[in-house]
Amino acid sequence: MGTIHLVTELPGPKSRELVARREAATPRGAAKLTPVAIEKAQGAAITDVDGNVFLDFAGGIGVLAVGHCPPNVVQALKHQAEQMIHLCAIVGTYEPYVRVAEMLNDITPGRFDKKTVLLNSGAEGVEAAVKLARAHTGRAGIIVFEGAYHGRTNMTMSMTSKYALFKKGFGPFAPEIYRLPFPNVYRRPPGMSEDAYIDDAIWRLENAFVAQVMPEAVAAIVIEPVQGEGGFIPTPPRFLQRIRELCDQHGIVMVADEVQCGFGRTGRMFAVEHYGVVPDIVVTAKSLAAGMPLAAVTGRADIMDAAHPGGLGGTYSGNPLACVAAVEAINMICQPEFLQRAEAVGDRIRHHLTNLQREVDLIGDVRGLGAMMLMELVTDRESKTPAPDETLAVTNEAFKRGVVAIRAGLYSNCIRFLPPLNISDDELDEGMNVIAEAVRTVAG
């Protein structure tokens, strides 16, 4: 018997009722991936209000590296809720807040004095990193990249690349943001070698300091070591290394946005560790706190101290419940066996996808780093024409068979895999077999 267990039509009657209430009470802009209402979740499985059990390959969009409701996190939350639910770190100090900051100072890359500020979301974290870089350098310019996703606040929405989905109708946007090409090797021009393409991307980066903004006006370069929403694209090592060199040369703050790719997702604690590059600031969120809302900005102490007292913080930032969840999650993910398991999960997903790619022409590319894996769907492998409609159809077919999967990519033609990293081999194989059935059905 597998984990998936479907007992009603999808969606079932109770799901239809609750989803209808949601649609009546909330705006259409707050979209939903599936038409079901979830009642409980455990490990890699989610159960809807009608009793249907699904495998969750969306993982809260990268939040649930340690799975749904790990017992140690649940116990920590129960204990903390009996002691103190909220105080506000602006009002006073409490041990879990300090402990999370100490842990992050210890485990993030770099052997230098560090400090950490806790916030609520990845977008808040990225925005705080920008504020700190500007305060530290006295400059305004921020360099970001095509395909990047950094959040939905006005500042981070301005930094985000995908216009139609995230930015349409929401301008004007924040100024002093300079967007440069990102070396997506799969989509390089026909006939150009991978090395030549990366060389060209580096040249465009360097040329931007003449053509778009002088380096003395740039506060930070913000980059995802592996693009998340952009399509799970690992940054080519030479490109990331050149960014580090340029930041050193010109006194620019290098910010690694590890909101989605951090905390074990790539088989290392942080994706940037694959590169031997140490950023000045690391932004984390998502799997940091096992599903509780928490983000962090960790960086060089002199940069982190650049803001004036009162310039950082928020009412809920570093809430005690979120902090105790983070302590447990960090302790779990830091274990060598957990990171080894993440690597094994990634290898297993890649094996399934590459075998399917040999069989089905709809799959143009399989890529990722560690367990941060993705397949890109195209109508033609030669032209690499994106297949967004077919991608949506695959996720719908997978859902009908009991697997929740989510799209990604600048063209919305990719399916990303973000299952809990402690998923069993049997569950992973069961889910990937469903994905294969869905792809074959759509491909015809």
In the DSSP assignment, the letter for residue 286 is G
CATH number belonging to the domain at 72-333, selected among 1.10.4190.10, 3.40.50.1240, 3.40.50.720, 3.40.640.10: 3.40.640.10
Query: What is the DSSP track for 16-77?
Result: HHHHHHHHHHS-TTS--S-S--EEEEEBTEEEETTS-EEEESSHHHHT-TT-BS-HHHHHHH
Instruction: Give the pTM.
Output: 0.97
Query: What does the domain layout of the chain look like in residue ranges?
Result: 13-56+337-360+368-443, 72-333
Rounded CA separation 41/420 (Å):
12
Whether the bond into 172 is cis, omega within 30 of 0: yes
Confidence band (pLDDT; 50, 70, 90) for 354? very high
| End-to-end CA separation in angstroms for the chain | 28
Same fold, 13-56+337-360+368-443 and 72-333: no
Nearest to 281 by CA among 152, 104, 417: 104
Percentage of the chain lying above the pLDDT 70 cut: 100
Question: Amino acid identity, residue 208?
Answer: A
Give the pLDDT score at 320: 98
Q: Per residue in 206-229, pLDDT tens?
A: 999 999 999 999 999 999 999 999
β-strand pairing of 141-145 with 177-180: parallel
Bridge partners (DSSP) listed for residue 378: 386
Quickly tell me which residue has 């940091």 as its tokens.
288
- What integer is the mean pLDDT of 66-77? 98
Task: Please tell me the predicted confidence (pLDDT) of residue 31.
Answer: 87
pLDDT bin (cut points 50, 70, 90) of residue 153 is very high
Tell me what the pLDDT averaged over the chain comes to.
Answer: 97
Chain segment 408-427, per-residue pLDDT in tens: 999 999 999 999 999 999 99
101 pLDDT band (50/70/90 cuts)? very high
Tens of pLDDT, residues 5-17: 999 999 999 999 9
Name the superfamily (CATH) of residues 13-56+337-360+368-443: Aspartate Aminotransferase, domain 1 (3.90.1150.10)
